[in-house]
Amino acid sequence: MSAAPVTQVPGRRTPPWSWYTDPAILRREHERIFRRAWQYAGHLGELQGPGSYFASETGPVPVVVTLDNDGVLRGFLNVCRHRGAIVATDARRRSTLQCPYHAWTYGLDGCLRAAPRSGEDPAFDADGLGLVPVSVGTWGPFVFANPDPAAAPLAEALGDLPEVVAAHGLDIEALRCDRRVRYEIRANWKIALENYLECYHCQVNHPGLVEVIDERRLVLDPYGRRGSMYAPVHPKSLDGRGPIDAHGSLVEGQNHLWFPTLKFNVLPGHPNLSIGPLWPTGPETCAGYLDYWFGESADAEWIEELFVLDNQVGQEDTALVEAVQRGSSTGLVDRGWALGGVEALIVQFQDYLREELELDQDADAPG
């Protein structure tokens, strides 16, 4: 399966730079995007069998994922119904969740099981004070959550992404999770993702990466709620001159942004994947993490080479997007320009934002 290069998408002005600094825009994003969208919540390996749970880092909305003894996967807002404290902070094999503030205790089905001294309150209604449910779903070993309990099924939201990933050579069921890497960036979350959506900057800023993938033959594929890039392996990584040996079952790289924030990255060579979300922590800051997965043919030396390259690229990108944040937030330049062709996925992402936020091209901030 392959896509045609995108060359005819016209360029256009970006949204106002105020979208990348204004707290009012961030509040609108929380309401209209992060409280309504499916997001990566972690993986099944974080559970320890029936009777376990893990606290998920889905972003602005805290979620806890549970697997009760009945074998049903569930998700809840990770917020105590008493005073609003975070209930779970880690992953445990335990049949209940207990809030560390006042010891309100919930079953893995979300029902309130105990609330100390609640018997002294004649108006107390335990049945109405269970954890608030959210939607959960899985794609292979990956777990997703949506704060909207009435959300459309995950499979419907994913669209053709699973088929596209498989058609480009990756069997997600044959991977094992190696580690999780967290990061923070001093830039608006949209700036960080727009950098991810183009390789226009790669030749100048990522000398190691462009010796692994041939960005000159990059294929862009904006489709539905995913923006995808496919890059053939660079000859240097096939003759020993690149930072990793790209011999293996994967003959090209693939990168997908599944809106709003899921990064899905594959490099040529042995089966590998880094997957994870990114989310706003403020108008001009964001955070995220990547779970790294590998197939059996990837040995420890090859994995370490990939991490060295990935860390280098991450540092280079962080410096770039933080510089964009500093420049765009001066207030002296109104907006930028997204190029047609090489920045087609940015145009697609910004159209998605306008649609979800219900703001037109020239809107500076919600009224």
CATH number, domain containing residue 94:
2.102.10.10
| Residue 145 shares a structural domain with residue 270 | no
pLDDT one-digit tens code per residue, 27-43: 999 999 999 999 999 99
| Residue 138 shares a structural domain with residue 249 | no
Q: Is the peptide bond before 260 cis (omega within 30 degrees of 0)?
A: yes
Predicted confidence at residue 267, as pLDDT, reads: 97
| Residue 76 shares a structural domain with residue 118 | yes
| Residue 300 shares a structural domain with residue 352 | yes
| Residue 331 shares a structural domain with residue 186 | yes
In a domain, 123, yes or no: yes
Is beta strand 278-282 parallel, antiparallel or unpaired with respect to 285-294?
antiparallel
**Domain count within the chain:** 2
In a domain, 3, yes or no: no
For the chain, the average pLDDT equals 94
pLDDT one-digit tens code per residue, 207-217: 999 999 999 99
Distance CA 268, CA 247 (A): 8
In a domain, 5, yes or no: no
Predicted confidence at residue 6, as pLDDT, reads: 52
**Domain C-terminal end among 90, 117, 150:** 150
| Residue 318 shares a structural domain with residue 195 | yes
Predicted confidence at residue 364, as pLDDT, reads: 55
Least confident of 1-5, 41-45, 147-151, 250-254: 1-5
In a domain, 269, yes or no: yes
pLDDT one-digit tens code per residue, 227-281: 999 999 998 888 878 899 999 999 999 999 999 999 999 999 999 999 999 999 9
Distance CA 225, CA 236 (A): 34
**Domain C-terminal end among 115, 150, 185:** 150
**Domain C-terminal end among 88, 116, 150:** 150
| Residue 129 shares a structural domain with residue 182 | no
Res. 129: pLDDT tops 90: yes
Predicted confidence at residue 57, as pLDDT, reads: 80
pLDDT one-digit tens code per residue, 50-83: 999 999 987 889 999 999 999 999 999 999 999 9
Which helix H or strand E contains 220, and what residues bound it?
strand 219-223
Predicted confidence at residue 59, as pLDDT, reads: 83
pLDDT one-digit tens code per residue, 152-172: 999 999 999 999 999 999 999
| Residue 258 shares a structural domain with residue 340 | yes
In a domain, 167, yes or no: no
In a domain, 339, yes or no: yes
Is beta strand 105-107 parallel, antiparallel or unpaired with respect to 219-223?
unpaired
When pLDDT is averaged across residues 12-19 and rounded to a whole number, the result is: 95
pLDDT band, residue 226 (cuts 50/70/90): very high
| Residue 220 shares a structural domain with residue 332 | yes
Predicted confidence at residue 330, as pLDDT, reads: 93
Predicted confidence at residue 10, as pLDDT, reads: 87
Q: Which of 151, 158, 144 is nearest to 224 (CA)?
A: 158
| Residue 181 shares a structural domain with residue 301 | yes
In a domain, 362, yes or no: no
Distance CA 262, CA 267 (A): 17
Range of the domain at 62: 39-150
| Residue 207 shares a structural domain with residue 303 | yes
Looking at residue 335, which CATH number applies to its domain? 3.90.380.10
| Residue 190 shares a structural domain with residue 69 | no
Predicted confidence at residue 1, as pLDDT, reads: 38
Give the CA dihedral 124, 130, 132, 133, nearest 10 degrees.
Answer: -150
Predicted confidence at residue 49, as pLDDT, reads: 96
Percent of the chain with pLDDT over 70: 96
The model's pTM: 0.94
Predicted confidence at residue 104, as pLDDT, reads: 98
When pLDDT is averaged across residues 276-298 and rounded to a whole number, the result is: 97
Predicted confidence at residue 363, as pLDDT, reads: 59
Res. 2: pLDDT tops 70: no
In a domain, 198, yes or no: yes
C-alpha to C-alpha distances, 344 to 146, 204, 223, 322, 351, nearest whole angstrom: 28, 19, 11, 22, 11
